[in-house]
Structure 1
Amino acid sequence: MTGRRATTTLWRPTGPAELALVRELDWRAWPPRLPEQPIFYPVLDEDYAVRIARDWNVKHDGAGFVTRFEVDTGFLGRYPVRQVGGRTILELWVPAEELDEFNAHVVGRIEVVHEFH
């Protein structure tokens, strides 16, 4: 029996510096967190990612980008969905020390779907 594994679509609002590192990783992985970044926060709602990229990243970094990527659904079960505000403000909290394993479960490429300046 052949079949594709089930994936879940996630989004990540990001600034230009992180996006450059993703590009260096051939659009297939997220870079290691900085010491002041103990958690990697992908989000489950595109609109929420747009709001962060447009309203926060542009203000702080001069540009904001929304990326979309797929992750193996079975693997994601280890990360409970966290509601951090309204009903659509949903995130996964991936500890920095688990990011390499998380990256190993990214399916396909990370793509930029929105850009703000």
Structure 2
Amino acid sequence: METTKLYRPVGLKEMELIAETDYKLFPPRLDWQPIFYPVTNQEYAEQIALEWNTVDEFSGFIGIVTAFEVKNAFLEKYEVQNVGDRNHNELWIPSEDLAEFNANIVNGIQVVNVYFTDRSFISENSELRDKLNRFKK
């Protein structure tokens, strides 16, 4: 089984919902979010986490970069979308396909980097708080 490594920058609330699934699933999209967009490289995910999530109150002023492997057989039906610079590549997964996307994640969702600010909220979930704090510099 071949897989592709993808990344997703998230804020605190989305990370708390991921933690509730034992790091296996991404939460359903909100009504106003028609697509789920994982990105194809860590550099772009870190840019989003740092530049967008850390300045967003809804994200808890914290940017969290997640990484995960998805089965290639599932991903074949989605084209990579370039949305700016050469490395700004992402997949556009319709919200209604998210459950199937989650079913094709292999070995769970890992936290690979965290960006804090002086306004960052820290999770009430002690296991998640400990996981995120390991990235504090």
TM-score scaled by structure 2? 0.81
For 1:39 and 1:113, how far apart are their aligned partners in 2?
Answer: 23
Who is 2:55 aligned against? 59
Displacement of 1:109: 1.1
Specify the SS of the correspondent of 1:65: strand
Amino acid at match of 1:110: I
In 1, distance between residues paired with 2:85 and 2:53? 20
2:21 aligned with 1:25, yes or no? yes
Give 2:107's aligned amino acid. Answer: G
- Whole-Å separation in 2 of the counterparts to 1:75 and 1:111: 20
Which position in structure 1 is the counterpart of 2:4? 8
Query: Residue 48 of structure 1: CA displacement?
Result: 0.3
Aligned length: 113
Deviation at 1:45, TM superposition (A): 1.1
Matched to 1:96, the amino acid is S
| 2:52 aligned counterpart, secondary structure | helix
Q: Which amino acid aligns with 1:98?
A: D
Moved over 3 A (4+): none
Aligned to 1:42, the other structure's residue is in SS state: coil
CA distance, structure 1, for counterparts of residue 90 and residue 41 of structure 2:
8
Q: Distance in 2 between matches of 1:32 and 1:108?
A: 19
2:40 corresponds to which of 39, 44, 56? 44
Aligned partners of 1:111 and 1:45: how far apart in 2? 14
Q: Distance in 2 between matches of 1:101 and 1:21?
A: 18
Structure 2: which 5+ runs fail to align? 117-137
1:34 aligns with 2:30: yes
Partner SS for 1:58: helix
Three-state SS of the structure 2 residue aligned to 1:88 is: coil
SS of 1:87's equivalent in the other structure is coil
Output the TM-score relative to the length of structure 1.
0.95
Q: Which has the higher contact order (CA 8 A, sep 6+)?
A: 1
SS in 2 for 1:47: helix
In structure 1, how many angstroms separate the alpha carbons of the residues matched to 2:85 and 2:50?
A: 18
Shift of 1:98: 0.6
CA distance in 2 between counterparts of 1:85 and 1:51 reads: 12
